[in-house]
Amino acid sequence: MYPYVAYLALLQALAQQPGTPLMEDCSDSATVLVDLPASATVEVRSSITGYATVCYAVTVIVDGKPARGYLRDNDVAAVAEFERRRAATAASVVHANADVTDGPGTLGAETPLIPAKELRYPPFQDFSARDTKGRPVSVHSLRGKVNLVCFWSPRHQDASRELLVVSRLYGQFKKEGLDALAISLSGDRAVLQDALDDFQLGFRNVPNGYDLAARYKIDYETLPRTYVLNGKLEVITSGLHGKALEDLVKKLLTAK
């Protein structure tokens, strides 16, 4: 069975069982993909702020088959455990800072505590590559208050549309602190250049990025994938598309 057909079959099977709503994205107008049964295994990949309530990017497994979506239900056991671990990590760091005393080679007693909210996101794995003009590029070259890393392919219609969204956001908000980087799963430079000419990107693109994508468990079948990073290059979320991606970027850039 083709992956997309298998995915639809899984969602149809899940839809027949009442339970927690699995959303298409985190926006208020998000479509409910399915109602998850209590027997579903849920893995929380990340939490997403900027909405009325915290949203969670999850992978669910039912009958050995995975599907991805978003949850807003804090009563889900996996979400509760995710929050418990995050709170425990934040508390341990704050406690360690509180125990620091003055003395040679130590932090002073007035050293500010690390805000717990700054500990919630994992760092994005860096890499070294060359862009389409042969210039060295890495994630650490991004300098935005908010940064987007878009995995795409010129031969993938949905991924091309996503790059267009990222390009539009970059043009609109680069002066407000948005930076971006594209990574293409294509080694055909002629096709790639033709697509890039249409997009007129104002940011860099890495060609032939198959190996880079593999590091993040991304392949052609899982495109498009755009990572949203904060100014410390920590992963806020990945997997938002269209209006949901636009809304989150706008909220992050306007946050005080």
Q: 199: phi > 0 → left, psi -120 to 50 → alpha, else beta; which?
A: alpha
Q: Which two three-digit tokens encode residue 232?
A: 């410390």
Q: Supply the CATH classification number for the domain 128-254.
A: 3.40.30.10
pLDDT averaged over the chain?
Answer: 77
Tell me the C-alpha distance between 195 and 203, whole Å: 14
Angstrom CA distances, 178 to 26, 30, 123, 150, stand at 21, 25, 18, 13
**Can you give the pLDDT at residue 103?**
39
Query: Strand locations in the chain, DSSP E?
Result: 20-23, 32-36, 41-48, 55-62, 65-71, 128-130, 136-138, 146-152, 178-184, 204-206, 225-230, 235-238
Tell me the C-alpha distance between 21 and 71, whole Å: 7
What is the torsional sign of CA 173, 178, 179, 182?
negative
**Can you give the pLDDT at residue 112?**
41
Q: Residues 47-78: pLDDT tens digits?
A: 776 566 778 878 887 667 777 788 876 667 87
Q: How do the domains of the chain map onto residue ranges?
A: 1-120, 128-254
The fraction of the chain above a pLDDT of 90, given in percent, is 29
Q: Residues 107-153: pLDDT tens digits?
A: 333 334 344 444 457 889 898 899 988 999 999 999 999 999 999 99
Tell me the C-alpha distance between 201 and 181, whole Å: 10
CB 145 within 8 A of CB 231: yes
If we measure between CA atoms, which residue out of 48, 45, 132 comes closest to residue 82? 45
Q: What are phi and psi of 102, to 5 degrees?
A: -65, 150
Evaluate if residue 17 carries a pLDDT over 90.
no
**Can you give the pLDDT at residue 101?**
37
